[in-house]
Amino acid sequence: MPGSLTELAAVAEAERYKIDLVRRYKQQGRLLEIGPATGTFAYLAKQAGFAVEAIEMDAACCQFLEQVVGVRAIHSADAAGALGGLDGYDAIALWHVIEHLPDPWETLDAARQRLRPGGVLVIATPNSAAFQFRIFGRYWAHLDAPRHLELLPVERLVRWGEGAGLRVMLKTTTDPGGLGWNLFSWEESLANLVARATGRRRMPVLPGRGLSRLMRPVERGRRFLGTTYTVVFQR
C-alpha cells in the first residue's frame, strides 16, 4: 500500500488512461468505483473534478481512501447490497473487479439501477475468448482460480446491457490497459508452464516479451482476441 498521497499520485500516472476514457463520455458528476483497493483511479477521478465514492471490502484500504485520498469509502464485501442504499451516479467503474465477485450479475444489475440518465458504466475484465487462453489453456494467467470466480464472455455482457436498456459506447481489447495486460499475461502464463514442467516458478521475461511482440498483430486485430476487454455502457 502506498504510504502517502505523493506515492499514490506517482503510481496513479500509469493508470491515467482510465480517467481519460471515462471523460470521453462524462466530464463531471458523481462517480462510484467498486473495488478500488488503495484508490489510484479514485484519486485520478477526484483530481479530474468528480465527486468520488467507493465500495471496498478491505478495511485498511477504506481507511486509506478516506484519510489519505479523501473519498468516501463504504466498507462492504457485498457490492450489490451496498449499492442498494446509494443515490444515483454519473459514472460507475469496475476495473478488473467483476471476475472476483460471487454475484457479478446481481452487482451489475444494482449498478445499472444507480446510473443517472446519460450515466456510464465502465467494466474491464479478462477476455475468455483471448488468443492466449486457446494457447495456454489451464495455465493461462487470467484463469487465476480461486481469485477469479467467473469470467464473463463479452457477448453475454453486451446482451445483458442491451437487454437492460443500456447502449454500448465502447467495446475494445486494445485500450492501453488491455495492451499492458497482454504482455503481463504472456510472461505469467509462461511462468505457469515452467512451474508445471520443472516444479520451480521462474519468470521467463524475455521469452514472454518476445511472444508478446510476435503476437501483437493477432491480439490487436479485429477478432477481439486480446487478453482483457473494456466495455462502456451508457444509460
Distance of CA 212 to the CA centre of its chain: 21
For 199, counting Cβ atoms within 10 Å of its Cβ (0-12 exposed, 13-18 middle, 19+ buried), the class is exposed
In which band, very low, low, confident or very high, does the pLDDT at 206 lie, cut at 50, 70 and 90?
low
Give me the percent of the chain exceeding a pLDDT of 70: 95
Residue located via cell numbers 444494482 = 110
Report pLDDT digits (tens) over 84-102. 989 999 999 999 999 999 9
Is the entire prediction scored with pTM above 0.95? no
Domain harbouring 50, CATH code: 3.40.50.150
Instruction: Please state the domain count of the chain.
Output: 1
The residues, any chain, with a CB within 8 Å of residue 155's CB and separated by 6 or more, are: none
Of the candidates 82, 114, 109, the one whose C-alpha atom is nearest the C-alpha of residue 72 is: 82
Number of Cα atoms under 13 Å in the Cβ half of residue 192:
19
Residue 54 neighbours by CB distance under 10 Å = 26
At residue 152, does pLDDT exceed 60?
Answer: yes
Residue 122 has pLDDT above 60, yes or no: yes
Instruction: Provide the pLDDT confidence category of residue 182 given band limits of 50, 70 and 90.
Output: very high
Task: Check if the beta carbon of residue 45 is closer than 8 Å to that of residue 20.
Answer: no
Q: Is residue 204 part of a domain?
A: no
Q: Is 202 left (phi over 0), alpha (psi -120 to 50) or beta?
A: beta
Please state, rounded to an integer, the average pLDDT across all residues of the chain.
Answer: 93
Ramachandran class of 88: left when φ > 0, alpha when ψ lies in -120 to 50, beta otherwise: beta
26 is a domain residue: yes
Mean pLDDT computed over 49-78: 96
Q: Is 64 contained in some domain?
A: yes
φ, ψ dihedrals at 90, nearest 5°: -90, -20
pLDDT for 195 equals: 77
Evaluate if residue 1 carries a pLDDT over 80: no
pLDDT of residue 126: 98
Whether residue 151 is contained in a domain is answered as no
Q: Which residue has the higher pLDDT, 204 or 176?
A: 176
Predicted local distance difference test score (pLDDT) of residue 196: 75
Tens digit of pLDDT for each residue in 216-233? Answer: 898 998 889 999 999 999
Residue 208: the pLDDT is: 74
Tell me what pLDDT residue 66 has.
96
Query: For the segment 6-42, what is each residue's pLDDT rounded down to a tens digit?
Result: 999 998 999 999 999 999 999 999 999 999 999 999 9
Domain encompassing residue 39: 1-126
Q: Is residue 43 part of a domain?
A: yes
**pLDDT tens-digit readout, 48-60:** 999 999 999 999 9
Q: Within a domain: residue 136? A: no
Angle between helices 16-23 and 40-47 (to 10 degrees): 50
Residue 155 included in any domain: no
In 76-195, beta strands by DSSP E: 89-95, 115-126, 167-172
Task: Please check the confidence at residue 146 and state whether its pLDDT lies above 80.
Answer: yes
Counting DSSP H helices and E strands in the chain, the numbers are 11, 7
Report yes or no on 74 lying in a domain. yes
